[in-house]
Amino acid sequence: MLVSAKEMLTKAKAGKYAVGQFNINNLEWTKAILLTAQELNSPVILGVSEGAGKYMAGYKTVVGMVNGMLEELNITVPVALHLDHGSYEGAKKCIEAGFSSVMFDGSHYPIEENVEKTKELVNICNELGLSLEAEVGSIGGEEDGVVGAGECADPDECKMIADLGVTMLAAGIGNIHGKYPANWAGLSFETLDAVQAKTGDMPLVLHGGTGIPEDMIKKAISLGVAKINVNTECQLAFAAATREYIEAGKDLQGKGFDPRKLLAPGFEAIKATVKEKMELFGSVNKA
């Protein structure tokens, strides 16, 4: 059964580790992530962007697929199904479809409007026992066509949003979605420290986990980051493994064109990436 992300993140923040949010795109992605979490006895958050939800034929299809897998694959570790960077309308749709967690990304609204809409969603989520992630200060790079500049959040605005009763808070600290440019300045630990000082026990979320050096990830966790989003890295691993299979001509040998064979190397590559991240984040055996 799907669970809210609240308990797993409260435990993570207290225990100084982070739970990975791995975004899903299809059946192979979902199965690879769930099986790896179960094998490593780790809690996990499945992330779904609005674009990926649409690609997978809608939120209800996603909920049906994930719930089916939890049962048929005997997944017993805590799993949250979470809308990533949701719009106000998207968040409501996911709640209706059966997601156990949503992110409302109101970072592009003026702070007053972000507060207003976040407050409404806090009430809905509290009533239903769902977790809610809010964002302050846009996160750089491109995600589903939304391009942000990679700013640092204002710690006072973070406190304002945290005080509304959200479960977790994504604050921009110089992080970027997608691949990091060669001239990237790195994470602003000064900002992260200031945000944590103002928000106390609130689990903080680090977006754009792909390509952040390991020592920076570990330092961010020590400063209160309890959820780290990984998306691009699984995509790159899947693509590289699939390319290798086809370039080696394996799809032309025997029944190598069978999708169950063709997609197997990419599936294994996602599993390996998720395992590496769970070990780095410290969530292994924390289920």
Alpha carbon separation from 225 to 47, 198, 202, 222 (Å, rounded): 17, 14, 9, 7
Q: Which residues contact 94 (CB under 8 A, 6 or more apart)?
A: 48, 53, 59, 83, 86, 102
Give me the least distance between CB of 172 and Zn ion, in Å please: 10
**What is the C-alpha to C-alpha distance for residues 1 and 14, in angstroms, rounded to an integer?**
24
Dist. CA 111–CA 103, nearest whole Å: 16
Using the rule CB under 5 A, which residue among 82, 207, 271, 277 binds Zn ion? 207
Asked if residues 143 and 108 have their Cβ atoms less than 8 Å apart, the reply is: no
Among the listed residues 59, 91, 110, the one whose alpha carbon sits nearest the alpha carbon of residue 166? 91
Q: Nearer Cβ to Zn ion, position 207 or 277?
A: 207
181-189, 207-215, 237-245, 263-271 -> range binding Zn ion (CB under 5 A): 207-215
Size of the site for Zn ion (CB under 5 A): 1
Comparison of 178 and 256: residue with beta carbon closer to Zn ion: 178
Q: Is 140 annotated as a binding residue?
A: no
Name the residue whose CB lies closest to Zn ion.
207
Is 177 annotated to bind ligand?
Answer: yes
Site for Zn ion contains 227 (CB under 5 A): no
Nearest to residue 102, comparing CAs of 74, 81, 127?
81
Name the minimum Å distance from CB 205 to Zn ion. Answer: 8
Q: Give whichever of 31 and 207 is closer to Zn ion, judged by the CB atom.
A: 207
Phi, psi (5° rounding) for residue 41?
55, 50
82 marked as binding residue: no
Q: Which of 84, 144, 251, 258 is catalytic?
A: 84
**Is 84 annotated in the active site?**
yes
191 is in an annotated binding site: no
Q: Which burial class, exposed, middle or buried, applies to 13 when counting CB atoms under 10 A from its CB (0-12, 13-18, 19+)?
A: buried
Q: Are the C-beta atoms of 202 and 195 separated by less than 8 Å?
A: no
CB of 34 vs Zn ion, minimal distance in Å: 21
User: Interacting stretch for Zn ion, rule CB under 5 A, among 48-56, 108-116, 201-209, 271-279?
Assistant: 201-209
85 is in an annotated binding site: yes
Q: What residues have CB less than 8 Å from 20, skipping those under 6 apart?
A: 42, 44, 45, 209, 227, 228, 229, 230, 274, 277, 278, 281, 283
Q: Least distance (Å) from Zn ion to the CB of residue 39?
A: 26
Ligand-binding annotation for 175, yes or no, is no
Stretch binding Zn ion (CB under 5 A), from 19-27, 87-95, 108-116, 203-211: 203-211
CB of 256 vs Zn ion, minimal distance in Å: 36
Mark residues 154-193: x for contact with Zn ion by CB under 5 A, - for none. ----------------------------------------
Residues with catalytic annotation? Answer: 84
Q: Which residues of the shown chain bind Zn ion in the complex (CB under 5 A)?
A: 207
